[in-house]
Chains A and B, each alone.
Chain A
């Protein structure tokens, strides 16, 4: 099965919801066979549960991520959206192994990584890098830019003699003047700092870069520069992105496919074209309606979604979204809906939205 949205540079495919585009939604369950080519990242039924101690009386389990599956093809961008407490940052932190998964598997280029340790884990982290929201916190303030980037190069085993020229190459690649190499992070602007973070991630030649709200802290006029840069790097290096953002319009620009999270689970998963032209899950619809869009100012503001995202420590029973959902029926209060293919082509977890008609293979 050829899968255009999985191929590098297939951005033009994602506007139209073609039959091929529909096939682009990756397998939702561990049982399904992955689409070809082999995904760079294959996350299957990922669970990250935290034990939280509550005084003397014992502990409670917070299911920050509870059964999440997705794939990212080489050179592809998967956009992950959700509100605070949805678990999207926990997914990111688990992928780079700041958090340890408590269940499920994370396959990098087909190899299981969830239980790696020691040397193997270090090798793994070289292939999976992360760019954080706040470049003020993620760069060592006492390290010059060239040292911060050079550290990555030494990890990759670049001989000392070649480091300087490689640092300069990396700076050029993120459109920073070489003159900045001797400066400290505190002497740079936010946009420059985020470019350094990107250069630092690139220094180890990763296959995947996890961008967790990587442009959220930047000024509006700087955001576009960094987003364009990330796209250029992807076109050059064929790196895959897991691009996490609360900002749906940024995701629409960046991502080939979109996953929407709500309280630890995926509620919608499909190509960018599918999700943005015909959002299936009522939560996705509400999220999109809530975005004040410069291109659509004439429209009356729709009635806002009531309530707030629930505390992941005590999610509502059944479908976690049911207390806020305008479509909720009785079954939603008791049974969590599975993530299945819907009539509009993407996967969604909702009892009410009609499923796609059964197709016999």
Chain B
């Protein structure tokens, strides 16, 4: 990772909403870095803070939430300190969301929505923009671009809308594409198409990807590196193979064990995690997972564990595998693995 400069660096990001009790912090001390062309996955359940992390990068935190701490650096310089978001949003960093029906303007034809982007950001003239838009739509697999450009978002299928959103997102060759649950609303065969397309388009345009999903299978099959979030914190991070093949945090382990598989031995019961994830910020002290954790001890209820490197034989710093758990390195923990 040292060879390629990081496109985006998030340092100690904290996002809070006003709360009657507790801190109201829904994203807590999140740090991450994504290198050029790298594909990083952010996994978590609802309320884990994964989408708000993305929105904080885009400076789109909904009111009354606000970033109370931390910084977002783009190519090493702080984003937004000097430049208005419109200078970089959409061009340097683009985003696609779960249902483009809510991100595309329902009253504006597809063609206008793409050409508007190209004319505003790229300074193309009307005819040029139109030709480029057709090219883009064709490249995302839309069969009849000329006709599609005259249509409204609502008449397209979910898969087609997501293709249009992707075409718009990559139209200005963004350095980073944030994809927030881009395939959650799609059928599984269409999901496979969109993921393949996302892979191909971002490779062609050299964009780094931050893929956000609740589905470990989706991020696991797509990303080089994974970040697992729980109750606003990153609890585990590392190369996909390490995190899924040898999960270190009890939450990651339980999550992987609780997913039924299409292959291999079929358990009689699924391993399940008791309780449910906390919503609206974590409790005051201790590890947020402690109430559900089979390995929790006294210390877990008192202090929040730091994200620490997992001792391993690997030497490449790019393979860094970290987890935030007091049990790390315990004999019990190793046996449990």
Compute how far the CA of A182 lies from the CA of B154 in the bound complex, rounded to whole angstroms. Answer: 42
Return chain A residues, CB-CB under 8 Å to B46. Answer: 219
Given A220-B215, A246-B187, A305-B193, 7 extra CB contacts under 8 A = A84-B187, A220-B216, A221-B277, A252-B266, A292-B218, A295-B264, A301-B196
Whether A288 contacts B192 by the Cβ 8 Å rule is: no
**B189 adjacent to A286 (CB under 8 Å):** yes
Residues of B within 8 A of A335 (CB): none
* Residues in B whose Cβ lies below 8 Å from that of A301: 192, 195-196, 221
Q: Which of B215, B260, B268, B271 has the most CB of A within 10 A?
A: B260
A-B residue pair count with CB separations less than 8 angstroms: 135
Query: Complex Cα distance A189/B275, Å?
Result: 10
Q: Are A305 and B262 neighbours in the complex by a CB distance under 8 Å?
A: no
The distance from the CB of A196 to the nearest CB of chain B, in whole angstroms, is 14
List A contacts of B214 (CB < 8 A): 219-220
Which B residues lie within 8 Å of A292 (CB)?
192, 195, 215, 217-218, 220-222
**A83 / chain B contacts, CB cutoff of 8 Å:** 187-190
- Cβ of B276 under 8 Å from chain A: yes
Determine if B262 and A219 form an interchain contact, defined as CB atoms under 8 angstroms apart: no
Main secondary structure of the interface of A (DSSP, over half): helix
Docked Cα-Cα span, A220 to B255, in Å, equals: 7
Name the interface size band of chain B: 35 or more
B103 contacts chain A at the CB level, 8 A cutoff = no
A residues near B190, Cβ cutoff 8 Å: 83, 308
Bound together, the chains give a CA A304 to CA B241 distance in angstroms of: 23
Contact of B261 among A11, A222, A293 (CB under 8 A): A293
Q: Of A111-119, A120-128, A147-155, A225-233, which binds chain B?
A: A225-233
Residues of B within 8 A of A286 (CB): 189
Instruction: For B303, list chain A residues within 8 Å (CB).
Output: none
Q: Are B259 and A308 in contact (CB under 8 A)?
A: no
Docked pose: A296 CA to B259 CA in angstroms: 13
Would you call B157 an interface residue if the criterion is a C-beta within 8 Å of the partner chain's C-beta atoms?
yes
Q: What's the least CB distance linking A178 to chain B, in Å?
A: 17
Interface residues on chain A, size class = 35 or more
- B73 CB within 8 Å of chain A: no
Q: Which B170-199 residues have a C-beta within 8 angstroms of A?
A: 187-193, 195-196
Knowing A222-B276, A297-B240, say if A249 contacts B258 (CB, 8 Å).
no
- Map CB proximity to B onto A121-137 as digits: 1 under 8 Å, 0 otherwise: 00000000000000000
* Contact residue among B45, B189, B240 (Cβ-Cβ distance under 8 Å from A290): B189
B260 touches A189 (CB 8 A): no
Residues 284-326 of A, flagged 1 when their CB comes within 8 A of B and 0 if not, give 0011111111111100010111101100000000000000100
Binding site for B on A (CB under 8 A): 11, 15, 83-84, 189-192, 219-225, 227-228, 231, 246, 248-250, 252-253, 276, 286-297, 301, 303-306, 308-309, 324
Measured between beta carbons, the chain A residues less than 8 angstroms from B270 are 224, 227-228, 253
What would be 6 A-B contacts, judged by CB atoms less than 8 Å apart? A220-B259, A221-B272, A246-B187, A249-B262, A295-B263, A297-B221
Chain B residues proximal to chain A, CB less than 8 Å = 45-46, 157, 159-160, 187-193, 195-196, 214-218, 220-222, 240-241, 244, 254-256, 258-264, 266-274, 276-277, 279, 292
Q: Is the CB of B191 within 8 A of A249?
A: no
CA distance A291 to B217 in the complex (A): 8
* Given A219-B46, A221-B276, residue A305 in contact with residue B192 (CB < 8 A): yes
Known interface pairs A219-B277, A294-B244, A305-B189; A11-B268 also in contact (CB < 8 Å): yes
A287–B258 CB distance below 8 A: no
Tell me whether A296 and B263 are in contact (CB under 8 A). Answer: yes
Instruction: For B279, list chain A residues within 8 Å (CB).
Output: 189
Given A219-B214, A228-B269, A309-B187, A296 contacting B262 (CB threshold 8 A): yes
For B159, list chain A residues within 8 Å (CB).
Answer: 308
- B259's contact among A189, A190, A249, A304, by CB below 8 Å, is which? A249
Name the residue of chain A whose CB is nearest to the CB of B273: A221
Residue contact B258 to A293, C-beta cutoff 8 Å: no
When chains A and B are docked, how far (Å) is the Cα of A11 from the Cα of B263?
16
CB distance from B156 to the nearest CB of A (A): 10
